[in-house]
Amino acid sequence: MFKQTTILAGMLLAAGASAQTTHTFDSPTFDRWNYPFNTTPGVRTAASTFSSGFVPGMFDDRDAQFLNSFITAGDVAPALGASNYIITSATATATITGGEFSYDNVYNEGASIDLFGTGFRGGLNAFAYGDSFTYGFGDPTSEDIRNAYATDYAGGVSRDVSNNIRDGFTPTPFAVGNIIGEVPGTTVTGSGQIVEFTFDLNNPDVVSYLQESLNDGIVSLSVTSLHVAAQSGPLVFPVFGTNENGTPMTLDLEVKVIPAPASAALLGLGGIAAIRRRR
């Protein structure tokens, strides 16, 4: 009996003692300039973020978005139950490759670079959308048709924040970009600057989104901003590097994985029964 109990205790300890591990993703599996008139989805070397200028009935407020999806399943075991992923740190970076734009490192419509999760329409998910699926179905100048959209996952719901100005609400980004070496409240020019996004893990919606994404095996993020662009005008908005030009987005996650309840049950009564049968 002592031997049986000792074996069971050891199994439970081993199952429950998953160490906290840092997972570094040097590039996304899929990245895309998520813009209605991008004719080279998935292979473009740059992705900008800007506003349409808030034209009533035309284009989303957050017109050009930058989509990045990281398949995590090979590093973090998926399908263990969302609540079993304990996330203690999450950071992403993006690299500026062009533009001249106003900058703030706190939420500021017109100056901040905002990081959100990504929601999908039409029964799609991050795997199915990839980086080359159709932007949307219908007139590309229309609002609310993009198949992949920035979401703040408010209350655990994939709320589309692409038209938050039109709809009169203030979204809550997962993180606001901090451009290393640049002073908030100034104009950023040049290229090569690193934008660092530190996820707000005090926000339960952010934590819930990341947990559910790890459970699915893919984390999909959307970078947006509300810098106003003009047709054929100067690049008064940030431009980012992609996989294709060698300066992709990165993602670092510190995660502790707890065994799924089903596993614990198996090691419980089922495990005891199995041990007894072997005696």
Please state the domain extents for the chain: 21-278
Q: Which residue has the tokens 């660092």?
A: 196
pLDDT at position 261, please? 53
pLDDT digits (tens, 9 = 90+) for 188-216: 999 999 999 999 999 999 999 999 999 99
Six token digits for residue 230: 């003009």
pLDDT at position 268, please? 42
Six token digits for residue 168: 């009169």
Q: Which residues contact 243 (CB under 8 A, 6 or more apart)?
A: 27, 28, 31
Six token digits for residue 96: 């500026």
pLDDT at position 271, please? 41
- How far apart are alpha carbons 33 and 92 in whole angstroms? 17
The 3-state DSSP class for residue 266 equals helix
pLDDT at position 23, please? 97
pLDDT tens for the chain, 279 residues: list them.
333 333 333 343 344 446 789 999 999 999 999 999 999 999 999 999 999 888 888 999 999 999 999 999 999 999 999 999 999 999 999 999 999 999 999 999 999 999 999 999 999 999 999 999 999 999 999 999 999 999 999 999 999 999 999 999 999 999 999 999 999 999 999 999 999 999 999 999 999 999 999 999 999 999 999 999 987 778 999 999 999 999 999 999 999 999 755 444 444 434 433 433 333
pLDDT at position 135, please? 97
pLDDT digits (tens, 9 = 90+) for 140-160: 999 999 999 999 999 999 999
Q: Which residues pair with residue 190 across a beta bridge?
A: none
Q: Which residues contact 108 (CB under 8 A, 6 or more apart)?
A: none
pLDDT at position 128, please? 98
pLDDT at position 272, please? 32
Nearest to 162 by CA among 249, 52, 73: 52
pLDDT at position 54, please? 85
- How far apart are alpha carbons 245 and 6 in whole angstroms? 56
Q: Which residue has the tokens 């810098």?
A: 227
pLDDT at position 153, please? 98
- How far apart are alpha carbons 192 and 152 in whole angstroms? 28
